[in-house]
Amino acid sequence: MKKLRVMMLVHYTLVPPEDLTAKDDPRLDKYRTEFDVKNALLELGHEVQVIGVYDDLSPIRKTVEEWKPHIVFNLLEDFAGISAFDYSVVSYLELLRVPYTGCAPRGLILGRDKALSKKLLTYHHINAPQFMVFPLGSKIKRVGKKLEFPVIVKSLMEEGSIGIARASVVENETQLIERVAFFHERTQGDAIAEEYIEGRELYVTVLGNHKLEILPIRELVFGEVPAGEPRVATFRVKWNEDYRKRWGIEYRFAENLPDGMEEKIVRLCKRIYRTLDMNGYARIDLRLTAANELYVLEANPNPGIARDEDCTLSAIKAGMRYEEFIQRLVNLGMARRALNAEA
């Protein structure tokens, strides 16, 4: 395996301290993904420079010109504090003609915009919840018969379950208007309300550019959540381990899927990935109803890849060591650039 010069792009507050080496260091929670990826790259024998970015692209150009990295490992999730601008940095890398890991600009734009992605998928006859968008700064309109309650209210562009709580699942227009106003104030961005789909929540990792691989399916299981309560991946469910333990909520590999369902999920997720022009890696979030219908909730380009994330655990289940998984992402980035150069 060729040893590479790898420039890691991270948020400027997430550059791991040089003295952070112990896995039991209390600071590790903040830098988990960045620490894991950097150490995996070093274990693989690559040279690594970590570059912190906020609203200035000049450190990227300076490093490219002076150090000439073979590839950029992209861990940025926003630019200038705006998550919707994450594609801008990748577009800049395209202009510099530097290979990078993860999704290209168009896939980032299509995947992040929950409304646009649902429109595209629906056009291709892929089930997605009905929805309405509530732009920031406009009068919050009533839904009438356009949506069937209950609905779940989310940020249109933010990821990581930002702002999502049990109160996000609303039963009437009064609650809907209140929750949309909450998201407008909290995120200073547009909100989306989509029909709540009751069912099992499945997470499917896809790897590849043209030839795609579907990794073992994960599931979010709501063990002790009372019957009738909405079962959603709230911010506390996603980020608070104590909360999950209290309610018997756990992430695990999906079991006892109906006959033929796994093959159906594989075909569906490949269609979604290609429809949204994704490459590198992504995670597709699905709901499986009691009637065995599949609905796409979200398609997430460049999902979390710390050692304990769902994508990583799926890769390990598929037979890869963590370092092999990280190298696979590097290889996919290099391969996409080589293919583009030939074109």
CATH number for the domain spanning 135: value is 3.30.1490.20
CATH number for the domain spanning 34: value is 3.40.50
What's this model's pTM, rounded to 2 decimal places? 0.93
Q: Is residue 75 one of the residues assigned to a domain?
A: yes
pLDDT (average), residues 46-72: 97
Any idea what the Cα angle at residue 188 is, between residues 187 and 192, rounded to 5°? 70
> What does the block give as tokens for 190?
């547009």
Residue bearing the bigger pLDDT, 230 or 85: 85
Location of structure tokens 């909360």:
243
- pLDDT above 60: residue 342: no
Q: Do 98 and 137 reside in the same domain of the chain?
A: no
**Residue numbers of the domain that contains 137:** 129-195
C-alpha–C-alpha distance, residues 280 and 209, integer Å: 6
Condensed to tens digits (0 to 9), the pLDDT of residues 320-339 reads 999 999 999 999 999 987 66
Q: Do 139 and 51 reside in the same domain of the chain?
A: no
C-alpha–C-alpha distance, residues 25 and 46, integer Å: 24
Q: Is residue 95 one of the residues assigned to a domain?
A: yes
Q: Do 177 and 91 reside in the same domain of the chain?
A: no
- pLDDT above 80: residue 341: no
Q: Is residue 219 one of the residues assigned to a domain?
A: no
C-alpha–C-alpha distance, residues 156 and 253, integer Å: 28
C-alpha–C-alpha distance, residues 72 and 254, integer Å: 33
Q: Do 146 and 181 reside in the same domain of the chain?
A: yes
Average pLDDT score, the chain: 93
Q: Is residue 183 one of the residues assigned to a domain?
A: yes
Which of 145, 175, 195 terminates a domain? The answer is 195
pLDDT (average), residues 191-211: 96
Q: Please state whether beta strands 280-288 and 213-214 pair in parallel, antiparallel, or not at all (unpaired).
A: unpaired
- pLDDT value at residue 343: 47
- pLDDT value at residue 140: 81
Which of 195, 221, 252 terminates a domain? The answer is 195
Name the least confident of 19-23, 53-57, 213-217, 303-307.
19-23
Condensed to tens digits (0 to 9), the pLDDT of residues 92-104 reads 999 999 999 999 9
Measured in degrees and rounded to the nearest 5, phi and psi for residue 51 equal -115, 120
Q: What is the per-residue DSSP string for 215-231?
A: PPPEEEEESSPPTTS--
pLDDT (average), residues 210-221: 97
Which of 164, 195, 226 terminates a domain? The answer is 195
Condensed to tens digits (0 to 9), the pLDDT of residues 273-283 reads 999 999 999 99
- pLDDT value at residue 338: 65
- pLDDT above 50: residue 142: yes
Q: Is residue 252 one of the residues assigned to a domain?
A: no
The total domain count for the chain is: 2
Computed on alpha carbons and rounded to an integer, the radius of gyration of the chain in Å comes to: 20
Long-range contacts of 138-142 (CB under 8 A, 24+ apart): 140/177, 140/180, 140/181, 142/173, 142/177
- pLDDT value at residue 24: 78
Q: Is residue 325 one of the residues assigned to a domain?
A: no
- pLDDT value at residue 65: 97
C-alpha–C-alpha distance, residues 127 and 118, integer Å: 9
Q: Do 135 and 98 reside in the same domain of the chain?
A: no
Q: Is residue 255 one of the residues assigned to a domain?
A: no
- pLDDT value at residue 37: 97
